[in-house]
Amino acid sequence: MANEQQYKLKTLYLATRGVKEYRSSIANYVQPNDRLLEIGCEWGTTSELLYNECQNLIATDISNKCIERARRKRPYIHFETLDVYDIKKALSFKINFNKMYIDVSGLSGYRSLLDVVSLLDMYARVFDMDLIVIKSGALKNFAKRVSRI
C-alpha cells in the first residue's frame, strides 16, 4: 500500500509517436554531461544524433548484425549487443546511466503496453533515471488519458 515512506521515483517518461518525434526530443532533453543508454539502436541513426549532444553514450541492440554494421559505420560510438530484458547485462556496463532512449521493435503497440510499463519501471528503479524517452504511440495515447486528482 502507498505511504509516505515509499520510495518516490524522479523519472520523467517521455512517450513519443514515430521516429521523427522520438529523435526531435534529443535537442531539448539531452545535455553534454549526461550518461546515456540507447536500446534498439539498429545501425545507429539515432545514436549519431544522441552522440552529437553527448559523447557519454552506450548504444545497444539485440542484433549482432546491426551492432557490427553500426560499429563499421560509426567507429567513434560505443556500441554493444543487449537484449532489453537482460538488465544484468545493462548493469555490467558499470555506468550509472541517467537518461535512456528506447525504440525496440514489438514494444510500441497496444499488445505490449504492460511489458513496456514494467520494463521502463525496472530501468527507472535500477538506474535511478532522470528521463526515459520511448518510441511508443500506444504508451503516449494511454498517458494522455491518465490524469491526477
Write the CA distances from 95 to 17, 56, 92, 115, integer angstroms.
28, 10, 8, 24
User: Helical H runs in 95-147?
Assistant: 113-127, 137-144
Does 40 engage in binding with ligand SAM (CB under 6 A)? yes
Q: Which residues contact 119 (CB under 8 A, 6 or more apart)?
A: 84, 85, 107
CB of 40 to ligand SAM, least distance (A): 3
For ligand SAM, the closer of residues 34 and 103 by Cβ is 103
Per rule CB under 6 A, is residue 45 in the interface with ligand SAM? yes
Which residue number, 41 or 124, has a Cβ lying nearer to ligand SAM? 41
Piece of the chain touching ligand SAM by CB under 6 A; list 1-9, 33-41, 118-126, 138-146? 33-41
Please report how close the Cβ of residue 15 comes to ligand SAM at its closest, in angstroms.
Answer: 15
Binding site for ligand SAM (CB under 6 A): 19, 39-42, 45-46, 61-63, 66, 82-85, 103-105
